[in-house]
Every structure is written in C-alpha cells, then in structure tokens.
Amino acid sequence: MTAAQLPPVAPEVTATLVEDLSPRLRKRLDGAVAKLGARPAHRDGDTVTIAVDDETELRLHAPGGVVATADAITCGCLLAPACVHRAAAACAAPVADPAPDLADPPAPAAPGSAAHPGEPAAVPHPGEPAAPAPSAAPATTAALDGDPVPESPPEAATEAQRAAADALWSAGAAVLEAGVDGAGAVAQSALLRAAHTARLRHLPRPAGASLSVVTLLRAARAGDPSYRTADLVTALAELLGTAHRVGTASGAELAAVRGRARRPYSPDGSLRLYGLFTETVVTDSGHGGARTWVAGADGRLYTVGDVAPGGVGRALGVADRAVRLGDSALTHRELGRAGLAVSGATVSPDGRLGAGKGVKAVSARGAAWTQQPLAALWETPPSEQAARALRSTSRYADPEGGGSDLLFLDVELLGAVREPGGTCLLALCDGGVPVRLTVADDDPALAHRDNLMLLATAPGTRLRIIGRLVPALHPRLTLLACSHPTGEGTIDLGLDRLRRADLPDPVAPVHIAPPRPGGPGAHSPLHLLERRVDQTVPAGRAALGMLGDVTPDASRLRRAGLPTAAGLLTALCASAGRRERDLFGRLLPADTDGFATHWLAAARYTAAVAESLCTAAWQPAQDDRAAAVSAPAPSR
C-alpha cells in the first residue's frame, strides 16, 4: 500500500485520532504506520479497505474524495475504536487541503464578476510554493472568488490569532529540536492540530506552511526520491517566520502574513493576447499537462493551463487539446503561436486566466517574437530581468506580489560544458554575461534533453530564447523555448524536436574555456553557515551541538566580509549545545524557542545573501566575451 492509494484525510481528523491514543499506543504509532504501509489495500467507490491481518479490515470512507470525520475511519479489531490502526491509517494518508470556508465564510460576488466552476485546478508553477498565497494588495469590499476582504487591513492580530500562531511556533520548534528522524506521527499531529486551529483563526498562510512541513516530513521519512532538504528548510523557515510575525505585524504587513484561503480572480475586462510558447508540466506528485504563456498588449504575462493527474503522457496529449478559455478552438500548441481576443477576462494575481462561464474568447492574429508588443520583452537588460525574476522565485517571496520568473534573452551559443550534475549548454548574452542553459525536464519522453544537446553542436548560432531563472551564484536558466535556428518560427523545447538539418553551419570553431565558477559570490564562504542551517533539519538540535568548535569557520566568514554570518553561526551552534543545570546538577529542558529563533535568523539571512549574490552575478561582465571563451580559431 502506498500513500497515493489512500484518500486524503483532513488535518483535524488525523490530529484528533492521534490525540485520543493512550501514551502507550502513541509510542507504537510510528511502527504501526510502517506496518500498515506493507499491507494490501483496495478501493471500492468512496471506500478504501486495508487488510490489517487475515481477519481484520480497516476502512476509510471518503465521500467527496476526502475523509472529513474521525468516524469515517473504522477498524474491525477488538480494541476499536481506541486502537492504533485508525490513527496509523490517517497518518499514512495524504493531508487533505482544508476546506476554504474554514478560514473565511463565503461572500457574495461583486457585480459583473463571474463564478469559476470551470477553472482548472491551481497547480503550482515549477518552484512555486504550495502554501496558500498571501496578499498585501489594497483591500476591497468583497472578494471575487468567494474570499471576503476587509475594508481596511487589520491594525493588529487578535488574542486568538496570537495564540494560534504561538501553537504553530511551538510545533515548528519541536520539529527543529527533534530533526526529521525524531519528528514522527505524534509531532506531525501537533503540526496538523496547530494548522487546523490557525485556519479557524483566519491564518491560512502559516497554516499552509505547517501542512507543507508535514508533507515534507513524511516524504523524508519515507525515503521519497523527490524530497530535498532545502525544501523542508524553506517550509520550516516560512512556518516559523509567519508564526512569529503574526504577533508583531500590523496593517498591510499583517494582511500579507495572514494570507488568503483562496486564490482570488478579479475581472480584467477585455484583453488582446499574443501567444509566446507552450511548456510541458510534469510534477513529482504525478500531475501532468501544459501551460501556455501569452502576453498582453502592455507586455504583461498571462498563463492558460491544463494540469491534472496523469504524468508525462498527459503532458504530451494536452498540448494538442483545446485550451480551457471561452469558446476558443485553439490548442495549446496553436495558442503559443497565435493570438486571442478575450472579453470578460478574470485573472489571478500571478497571471492565471480564469475559465468561468462569463469569459468569451475568439482567435486572433498573433505576433512574431521580433514584432511588437512581444519584442519589447527582449529589450529589458538581462540584469534587470534577473532581478525581477528573483523577486518572484525568492524562497520567501509574496506569491501574490506578481511578476514572472521568465527571462527573455538574445544569446550566442558557445557549446556544451560538463558539470558535476551533468552537461549544460553555455551561451553568451548581452553584456558579455555567460549563461548556463539546462533542461527543464530530463524525462526522455520529452524533447528537452535531445534539443539542448543538438543545439550544443552549433556554436556561434544566435538565438532568441525564453528561460526560467534558476537561483544560483552564476547566471543559470532552464531553457523553455527558442527561435528556430533558421529564423523561421519558434520552438517549444519540451514538445517540438529539432533535427540536425535545422541547424546552420557553425559561424566559426569556438574554443570553450572552462566557465568561471560564477560572479561575485563564486568564492563566498556563505556555505559554512548554510551547511549548519541544513544539518539541523535532518539531525535535530542535539546533533548540531556536537559538531565541535566553529571558531575557524566564523573567522573565515569575517575575513570574507560577512561578520553578520559569523555572528549567526557562533550564536546558532552555541544555542544548540547550551544546556543549563539546576541547583542539584540536573539538566534542565533545552531552550527550544531560543534555538528556533537563532536558526530562523540564520536561515533567512543565508537566503537573502544568496539572492543578492545571484543578482550581482547577472551584472554585465567587465571583460566581455573573453570572460567565457577564447579567441576563435583561425580558419583553414
């Protein structure tokens, strides 16, 4: 049995079942979850049955697809309903998205707004956080997607909200104290209970961060290959950071910290849209589909997506299906090169176009990348584009702050360059900045890898490209689309396959010198602090306290001009190893709150410095082309 075979369980259901267990059964809960995972299960309609043993069955009833009450999980063993099996099943199942009306009661739609029953499910863009999106935008009298907004931002959090935030902080600090190995089902249930309470107190953003932590903890403990420690570091810092700020923020800042329970779609009148490209979307959760990017007459970017369970096969098939937007008959592939005239448009803060009943769309003439209004996207200097994209991809960016993580560059291809993680394509963009172009998805069913390797055989070729920023200490993009090497049309690099006949002859043999490690931060010792921040998550506070003297690392940080990092490193490790004793010499409980505060400061600092170094790496090179390549070889 896998978690994917079980229906999602509401957070409060899991928390209730775990809290109802006796202390003895709580100690056995993690073992029971592991044993239950090895048992066969089968689905019959809305019910999933698990064979606990040859004579006992456990049932999860999920009308509507979600187990919404504790009574919906039943067990046939002699100890039921006080058995460990019910709680184990809830802990093994995915966490259900909380019902939106827990956070805010529905409000009537504003006049002229459209309902959105036909809108596709919101699947995060690559790299986009899954937590509910906050909003710091000016408040209006009513939300257009059922999410009411107060007339003015709240001046301060209520006592109930501060209490809910304190519970979230305590649950997050307990995870840091124990580490992944110690954060079992009981610690996760505390996070789920705190998240449920936070939703009831109108704190959807910190509640969503808490659910993300639970999901990542389960992935880490299950050995999920898609799990990354950096993701859990970010989720924990988001949880602790928002929980802390609830008690100190006010006005618009508090509104942003609280977040929204629903993604609002606001009316945007009539739009004239021009297709840019279509990208394939394949997620670790098994979803697949396509997302088509279009631009308005003012250069603003919008997306039309169709993503649902199905993986890479669905991603390839959806590209040739009609887009979900009005009565348009254009497929995603066609829209990426054509245009649309839309009336009654509704748009989310991140540019997703709604597909409600009131939306009308008809096909229209598109524009080439070299024609206005699309050509304007390539006129912004790369450094300015990178700074804007980084604000969108930042670990702790406001998801409703707008902006895109795409870059539009004119480049000259230089050739393939080997890296520790594989091979990338080196290119030179305006300002003499060498950029590493990587594949967006390595799945062999998609065309990304083959296209990139073929382009690497044509050094000297000039292309107009679209890529997604990869935050790093050197300029780096995942390549999504490019102009055709012959100059005719464009290529969606995940869908269209280039042929060798499409490539021009190289302008001149170009000798590729090993690329510089990357910009101003290439030799920064910031990793000395980042490493300690990351080590805390899997190992817990105690393991960090046993790592020994960090004075040499702190001295190196100071010599590199990072005295704040040195101070944070010293304070973090000192807090991890500090244990006070009472008058009789007995160890007192560790200061989990103090350690969590030091860890949060270090995590947010390293993220901010890394982003600053990434921005600096995109500044125009002083030595121009010589920074990346040697002089062309003489022709023979």
pLDDT tens, residue by residue, 288-313: 899 999 999 999 999 998 888 888 88
Categorize the per-residue pLDDT at 373 as very low, low, confident or very high, splitting at 50, 70 and 90.
Answer: very high
Residues 484-496: what's their mean pLDDT? 91
% of the chain beyond a pLDDT of 70: 83
Q: Which of 407, 404, 409 is nearest to 427 (CA)?
A: 409
pLDDT at residue 72 greater than cutoff 60: yes
What's the pLDDT score for residue 622? 56
Alpha carbon distance 590, 598 (integer Å)? 14
- Section 61-82 average pLDDT: 92
| Tens-place pLDDT, residues 92-141 | 999 987 754 433 333 333 333 333 333 333 333 333 333 333 333 333 33
pLDDT at residue 629, rounded to an integer: 42
* pLDDT top residue among 110 and 157: 157
**pLDDT in the model for residue 127:** 36
User: Residue 25 above 50 pLDDT?
Assistant: yes
CB atoms within 10 A of CB 94: 16
pLDDT above 80: residue 452 = yes
- Confidence band for 225, pLDDT divided at 50, 70 and 90: confident
pLDDT at 508: 54
What is the mean predicted confidence (pLDDT) over 262-287?
82
Least trusted range by pLDDT, from 112-126, 236-250, 362-376: 112-126
Say if residue 384's pLDDT is above 50. Answer: yes
Point out the least confidently predicted range of 6-20, 494-508, 616-630: 616-630
Measured CA distances, 569 to 180, 333, 566 (Å): 21, 50, 5
For 167-176, write each residue's pLDDT tens digit: 999 999 999 9
CA dihedral 520, 523, 526, 528 (to 10 degrees): 180
State mean pLDDT over 621-625.
Answer: 50
Count the helices and strands in the chain (H runs, E runs).
17, 15
Q: What average pLDDT does this structure show over 509-524?
A: 53
The string of pLDDT tens digits covering residues 545-558 is 787 788 999 999 99
Res. 425: pLDDT tops 90 = yes
End-to-end CA distance of the chain: 66
- 3-class DSSP state of 465: strand
Rounded to an integer, the average pLDDT of 52-73 is 91
Across 98-107, 243-252, 274-283, 321-330, least confident range = 98-107
46-50, 266-270, 433-437, 569-573: the lowest-pLDDT one: 266-270
pLDDT beyond 50 at 631: no
User: For position 393, what pLDDT does the model report?
Assistant: 78
- Which has the closest alpha carbon to 435: 357, 382, 484? 382
Q: From the CB of residue 46, how many other CB atoms can be counted at a distance below 10 Å?
A: 15
Amino acid 347 reads V
- For 486-520, b/e burial (b = at least 16 CB within 10 A) is eeeebbbbbbbebeeebbeeeeeebebeebeebbe
Give the Cα separation of 12 and 99 in Å (integer): 11
Distance between CA atoms of 114 and 361, rounded to whole angstroms?
A: 15
Please give the backbone phi and psi of residue 607, each rounded to the nearest 5 degrees, phi first.
-65, -40
In single-letter form, the type of residue at position 147 comes to D
How far is it, in rounded angstroms, from Cα 476 to Cα 393? Answer: 13
Query: Who wins on pLDDT, 460 or 547?
Result: 460
What does the pLDDT read at residue 451? Answer: 94
Backbone phi, then psi, for 516, in 5-degree steps? -60, 150
Report whether pLDDT(436) > 80: yes
Cis geometry, peptide bond prior to residue 81 (ω within 30 degrees of 0) = yes
**pTM beyond 0.85:** no
Calculated CA dihedral for residues 521, 525, 531, 533, nearest 10 degrees: -80
Tokens 């937590």 map to which residue?
A: 131
| Mean pLDDT for all residues in the chain | 83
- pLDDT for res 154: 64
pLDDT, residue 264, reads 65
Per-residue confidence band for 606, with pLDDT thresholds at 50, 70 and 90:
very high
Burial label for 623, CB within 10 Å (0-12, 13-18, 19+), is exposed
Q: How far apart are alpha carbons 211 and 207 in whole angstroms?
A: 6
Find the mean pLDDT for residues 496-514.
69
Query: Which is more confident, 583 or 445?
Result: 445
Min mean pLDDT across 49-58, 462-471, 540-549 is at 540-549
For residue 5, the 8-state DSSP code is G
Confidence of residue 263 (pLDDT cuts 50, 70, 90): low
Which residues lie below 8 Å from residue 342, measured CB to CB, with a gap of 6+?
A: 270, 271, 272, 273, 325, 326, 353, 359, 360, 361
Per-residue pLDDT at 591: 85
Q: Which backbone phi and psi does 135 adopt, to 5 degrees?
A: -145, 130
How large is the greatest C-alpha to C-alpha distance in the chain, in angstroms? 88
SS3 assignment, position 466: strand
